[in-house]
């Protein structure tokens, strides 16, 4: 039988993390909750919604007090039709892994059942809503997790969210000479196939007008 973290361990780790975050940041606008995945083993994870001004302090707390050592993904979403205080949202996904450097010829054979406290793997999801506007800005966490470096580059490149304090920001997936301010995952950019504007936005053709006949494949 393969080993696995039990749901009791998982719940205990998430509840402890929620308590730690709320204990430290209660009353600052940061909300930490324990959320269940809605499929599979229904494992829990830690979800935090934080205002942008608290983000750097929260990130350091996660890294150095809760042992969250792996930045899995940074990504952003554009909500042009959203509320005034949530025109953009940055989503972070972190993991805590029980990882230690090993001596020569040594390895650690974890027994999942014996892991306790900060050794239990933890999944963290963080949402940072940003106000509407042309230049959403959030603090960079490049200096805390090296892995966030290229994730932030990608998020700026594709979504257009700026990361304050990021050194060496550049285009990574789009061409280096893309026009300034061009970020294709913003919602004002529609998918086009040559001149057939609605080909992808209305793939099933339900909103096609009679005047479009011949234009839309």
Partner 1 sequence: MAQMWITMGPQHPMTHGLWTLRVKVDGETVVDTEPELGYIHRGVEKICESRDFTQIVPYCDRLCYASAMTWAHSYCYAVEDLLEVDVPERAEYVRLIAVEMQRIASHLMWLGAYTPDVGNLTVFVWCLRDREMFLDLMQELGGSRMHYNFPRPGGIKRDIPPGFANRARAKIALFLERMKEYEMLLDESTIFLVRTQGVGYAKAEEMVNAGVTGPNVRAAGVNYDVRWAHPYSVYDEVDWTSSVEKPSSVKGADCYDRYRVRMTEMEESCRMIIDALDKIPGGSDTTYQSGDEKIIAKVPSRAPEGATGHHHFEDSRGESMFYLQGGGEGRGKYPYRVSIRSPMFITIPFVAETMIGYKIADIPAIMGSFDPCIGETDR
Residues that bind partner 1 (CB under 8 A): 1-5, 37-41, 43, 69-73, 75, 77, 81, 91, 93, 95, 97-110, 112, 121, 123, 125, 145-151, 154, 158, 171-175, 184-185, 189, 191, 200-201, 203
What is d(CA 109, CA 47) in angstroms, rounded to the nearest whole number? Answer: 29
What HEC string does 4-41 produce?
A: CCCHHHHHHHHHHHHHHHHHHHCCCCCEEEEEECCCCC
Question: DSSP character for 179?
Answer: P
Whether 174 contacts 157, CB under 8 Å: yes
Q: CA 122 → CA 15, 17, 35, 44, 85, distances in Å?
A: 11, 9, 12, 9, 29
Least distance CB 97 / partner 1 (angstroms): 5
Closer residue to partner 1, CB minimum distance, 132 or 171:
171
What is d(CA 18, CA 61) in angstroms, rounded to the nearest whole number? Answer: 12
Closer residue to partner 1, CB minimum distance, 53 or 189:
189
Least distance CB 132 / partner 1 (angstroms): 15
Least distance CB 214 / partner 1 (angstroms): 21
Least distance CB 114 / partner 1 (angstroms): 12
Closer residue to partner 1, CB minimum distance, 23 or 108:
108
Closer residue to partner 1, CB minimum distance, 28 or 193:
193
What is d(CA 51, CA 54) in angstroms, rounded to the nearest whole number? Answer: 6
Closer residue to partner 1, CB minimum distance, 4 or 131:
4
Q: Which of 128, 125, 191, 137 is nearest to 164 (CA)?
A: 137
Least distance CB 197 / partner 1 (angstroms): 12
């Amino acid at each position: 039988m393969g080993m696995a973290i039990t749901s009791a361990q998982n719940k205990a780790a998430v509840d402890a993390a929620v308590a730690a975050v709320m204990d430290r940041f209660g009353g600052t606008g940061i909300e930490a909750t324990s959320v269940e995945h809605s499929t599979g083993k229904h494992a829990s994870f830690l979800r935090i919604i934080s205002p942008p001004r608290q983000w750097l302090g929260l990130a350091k707390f996660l890294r150095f007090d809760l042992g969250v050592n792996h930045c899995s993904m940074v990504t952003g979403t554009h909500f042009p039709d959203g509320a005034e205080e949530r025109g953009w949202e940055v989503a972070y996904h972190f993991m805590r892994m029980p990882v230690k450097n090993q001596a020569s010829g040594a390895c650690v054979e974890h027994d999942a059942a014996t892991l306790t406290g900060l050794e239990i793997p933890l999944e963290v999801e963080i949402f940072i809503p940003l106000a509407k506007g042309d230049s959403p800005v959030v603090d960079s966490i490049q200096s805390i997790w090296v892995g966030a470096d290229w994730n932030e580059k990608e998020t700026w490149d594709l979504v257009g969210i700026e990361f304050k304090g990021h050194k060496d920001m550049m285009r990574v997936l789009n061409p280096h000479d893309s026009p300034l301010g061009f970020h294709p995952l913003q919602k004002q950019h529609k998918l086009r196939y040559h001149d057939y504007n609605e080909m992808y936005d209305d793939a099933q053709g339900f909103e096609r007008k009679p005047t479009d006949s011949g234009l839309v494949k």
